[in-house]
Amino acid sequence: MKRGLPALLAIGAIVIAVLVLTPVARQLLFSANTPRPVQPRGSLSDVERTTVELFQGASPSVVQVVAFRDDTGGFGSLDGGGSPAGTGTGFLWDGAGHIVTNDHVVGSARRVAIRTSDGQILDASVVGKASNYDLAVVRASTFRALPPALPVGSSADLKVGQSVFAIGNPFGLDQSLTTGVISALKRRLPTAAGREIADVIQTDAAINPGNSGGPLLDSAGRLIGVNTAILSPSGTSAGIGFAIPVDVVNRVVPELIRTGRVPTPGIGIVAASEAIATRVGIEGVVIVRPIPGSPAARAGLQGVDERSGTVGDVIVAVDDKPVRKLADLTDVLERIKVPGQVTLTILRRGEKRQVTVEVVDVG
């Protein structure tokens, strides 16, 4: 036993030495004190390659838009001349330098500053605005090299579940790409002008402040919408963003370029709110009164009898399309070239009758 003790002590000493010296040896032998060799990645997946190519093709046509409260000072710098009133995103529409953005980004400004993807800062003038659609067009003074306009798709054949891609400048971070799917279609979005945009696209692609006015693209890189709003108590993306459908954009923008404004088709009535109609159990548009001298007045439409409070005419169809609320009526009117006419089906004292009414610009 006494003879085995030194051996055990020796073994113990060796074990302790190994435990103590192993980290030192590992540090000396295996420390990566020079750059490590780069391992080949291999090819991108088809999905990744498609996304990369889409962004590389579309991003040069996307710009940052900064509106100012006044037109004093220079626009050669985004931090000079006037106070910023709104910032957002825009994208090139044509070879003449027209840029589409949101009306709420431009606000009341007459001139804006544009920052391009390659860092150019340009002065731009406001060509036209359509608050009913939350769309605006500005034109840049000059480009060193004009990028291509984004190809235009259609919003008529979109499907829930399709992949979508949003490019913009959220929180001032330029050239940001977010991806997602179409979450829903045919949403309605109120505008600051008191009307509603129909057939709005809902997406879970992250839309944040600064994305407004930027393009929503499909997987082919085609424009299918203009990002305009988010639904979020915190003001940041909660997975519910909205885009104006491109079919509306493709109708409104050329009119803004031609004339600077878009007619507001109407027949000249003051309609009761939907809440009042619902409260009295009426499905349709209750006419409070026709505006004197308007097409509605000339057609003999009747409003509410103020003395008795009796309901007059209720519009229940337009051109044989059912009307359940005011947005149904304005949807049809906005698709009619002004001046034009429509056939209204009205309910008067319980009886249906048809009346032909002119459609004029009431804007």
Mind telling me the catalytic residues?
104, 134, 212
DSSP state of 152: B
Q: How far apart are the first and last CA of the chain?
A: 110
Task: Write down the residue that tokens 């308007």 correspond to.
Answer: 294
Q: Which two tokens stand for residue 2?
A: 């006494």
Query: DSSP E strands: which ranges in 256-363?
Result: 265-266, 269-271, 285-290, 313-318, 321-322, 340-348, 351-361
- Under DSSP, the state recorded for 74 is -
Q: What's the token pair of residue 210?
A: 């600064």
Give dist(CA 180, CA 331) in Å, integer: 28
Partnered with residue 99 across adjacent β-strands are 92, 138
Residue 129 in tokens: 């605005």
* 261/128 Cα distance (integer angstroms): 6
Contact 106, 85 (CB under 8 A): no
CB 196 within 8 A of CB 327: yes
The β-bridge relationship of strands 241-245 and 196-203 is antiparallel
Please give the backbone phi and psi of residue 353, each rounded to the nearest 5 degrees, phi first. Answer: -150, 160
**Distance (Å, rounded) from C-alpha 230 to C-alpha 248?**
19
Residue 344 neighbours by CB distance under 10 Å: 24
Taking a C-beta distance cutoff of 8 angstroms, is the pair 133, 262 a contact?
Answer: yes
| Strand pairing class (98-101; 285-290) | unpaired
Query: For residues 179 and 239, what is the distance between their CA atoms, to the nearest angstrom?
Result: 11
